[in-house]
Amino acid sequence: MFLPARRPFRRLALLLATAASLIVPAALADAVDDYILGFMQRTHTPGVALAVVRDGKVEKMATYGVADAFARTNLEPTHTFQIASATKMLTGVALGRLEQAGRLSLDDDLRRHFPDAPESWSRITIRQLATHSSGLEDRLGLGRDASTADIVAAAMKTPLAYEPGSRSRYGFTDFVVLQALIEKLAGEPFPAALRTWALAPLGMGESGFPTETNGTWKDRAVGIHVFREGRQARDDFGYTPAGYAAGGLLVSLNDLVHLAQAIDRADALPVAAWQRLWTAPAFSNGKPGDFAIGWTKRDLLGHGAVGHSGGPALADILRLPDDRLTIMVLTNQRWLYPMLADGVAARYVPDRARMLPDDRPEMTERLRRALDSAARGAMDKTGFTDEAGKGMQGFFQDFGSALLTAAGPVQSIRLMEKATTPDGGDRRRYRVQFQHQSMVWLFSVNAAGQVDLMRPASDSTPLLP
């Protein structure tokens, strides 16, 4: 079902802030449509593309609004969106297929493929690059015009930031080195290599990088917008070719459906290889890792989930492997918090997460007051440590404000998990039900009773370091 901007229907008419009337016939609208349309209205998002695929079958496919708020072009499933960091998922697919072809092992150390690398790189594996746990430094002192080779050379000369495999730190250098590796093994530039080893096998022929000239994905790209200070404006969000493995792919909704169907049908990769991509290796201390091979990994509503967002919410892609369900959401609004895929998932799967009796309602009330005050535009930092108060104030002045605008007022808060911190504090995981969205938040008070942590999280974010 595709829902472009058209003349009003009697029973449902939403006027978007872009001045485009997006209208849905009441007979065709459902709870997901209502959720998406309401989100667009609250966040001034000109266009959204959505697909839901279960067990290889398309359960829902819809476009809402316009591709460009100024050109007024109706959004179609062939339009391409900048998916930003979600490109990493496809880099992961390319790695998986190269491993299947015998070109690499994810457990290879880097000096096997980069013989001129320093000795410290012998302690780094390809798997650690792809899971952001390599220890490579991101602060290399290079300009935006640096090439892939420049970045790799600088990384080789820079001491490791931490011991490989001991922790993770989401960054850029890891995937630039992966890009150099893929180019070396494939024998072609990264855009062509990604097409050979991921896009073509997945049936994603409508997608490509902006610098490629052998397709129409750039011509069909949606405009990118940002709504700030009461006005809609054009925005730019691009990656240099040196970091295309980390982000920058233009992808159509049609092609994301092909990706989901390829997963369900075990095309491109066998089932075991997909599972291998979605496994987050443990750290050297035995604690669970944070990232899988180019994919994020977490729990959602008591269901295992993998995926990636990008931009931070130009793309929001979610796969629930045990449910054989994939939800893909694309937008053309930059100032958003990635939450749409989770919100759609809540309308397709039951909430299986376990809740606990709330033995400290006064602590729960402190979280509610902080969220309510932030929603009014001035978070009450009373009782916060200086570091936590400044951190959350900065968050709510930026994407946290977009989150609360989209989610609406707090309706209920339930306790999911609790733990005692090493300093004797109390740290808790809560399910916060806003008017339009269910989310998980971590909230912690130290032994002195001061709030020292407050942030959105997932069902599976570790409570303790």
* pLDDT 10s digits, 211-233: 998 888 999 999 999 998 889 99
Both structure tokens of 115:
């013989």
* Position 298 in a domain: no
Q: What pLDDT shows up at residue 15? A: 34
Using CA atoms, how far apart are residues 412 and 418, in angstroms rounded to an integer? Answer: 18
Please give the average per-residue pLDDT across 134-142, as a whole number: 96
Residue 381 or residue 271, greater confidence: 271
Q: What pLDDT shows up at residue 333? A: 96
- Global confidence as pTM: 0.92
* Position 188 in a domain: no
> What is the tens place of the pLDDT at every residue in 352-383?
999 999 999 999 999 999 999 999 988 888 99
Please give the average per-residue pLDDT across 144-154, as a whole number: 96
Q: What pLDDT shows up at residue 6? A: 32
Is the pLDDT score of 428 beyond 90?
A: yes
* Position 440 in a domain: yes
> What is the tens place of the pLDDT at every residue in 66-79?
999 999 899 999 99
* Position 391 in a domain: yes
Going by their DSSP bridges, the two strands 451-457 and 21-23 should be labelled as unpaired
* Position 412 in a domain: yes
Is the pLDDT score of 210 beyond 50?
A: yes
Q: What is the DSSP string of 118-139?
A: -GGGGG-BHHHHHTT-S---S-
Q: Kindly list the distances between the CA atom of residue 108 and the CA atoms of 115, 181, 346, in Å, as whole numbers in the listed order.
A: 12, 12, 39
* Position 389 in a domain: yes
* Position 340 in a domain: no
Predicted confidence band of residue 8 (pLDDT cuts 50, 70, 90): very low
- CB contact at 8 A, 164 and 174: no
Q: What pLDDT shows up at residue 29? A: 61
Q: Give the total number of structural domains in the chain.
A: 1
Q: Kindly list the distances between the CA atom of residue 267 and the CA atoms of 91, 97, 203, 261, 325, in Å, as whole numbers in the listed order.
A: 16, 11, 10, 8, 16
Both structure tokens of 128:
């650690």
Q: What pLDDT shows up at residue 272? A: 97
Q: What pLDDT shows up at residue 19? A: 32
> What is the tens place of the pLDDT at every residue in 108-130?
999 999 999 999 999 999 999 99
Q: What type of residue is 8?
A: P
Q: What pLDDT shows up at residue 310? A: 96
> What is the tens place of the pLDDT at every residue in 171-197?
999 999 999 999 999 999 999 999 999
Using CA atoms, how far apart are residues 89 and 293, in angstroms rounded to an integer? Answer: 8
Please give the average per-residue pLDDT across 377-400, as a whole number: 92
Q: What pLDDT shows up at residue 305? A: 98
* Position 300 in a domain: no
Domain interval for residue 421: 361-457
> CA angle 236-82-6, nearest 5°?
90
Predicted confidence band of residue 139 (pLDDT cuts 50, 70, 90): very high
Residue 423 CB partners (closer than 8 Å, separation 6+): 446, 447
Residue 78 CB partners (closer than 8 Å, separation 6+): 206, 220, 252, 253, 254
Predicted confidence band of residue 398 (pLDDT cuts 50, 70, 90): confident
Q: Which residue in 249, 237, 82, 122 sits closest to 179, CA to CA? A: 249
CATH of the domain at 381: 3.10.450
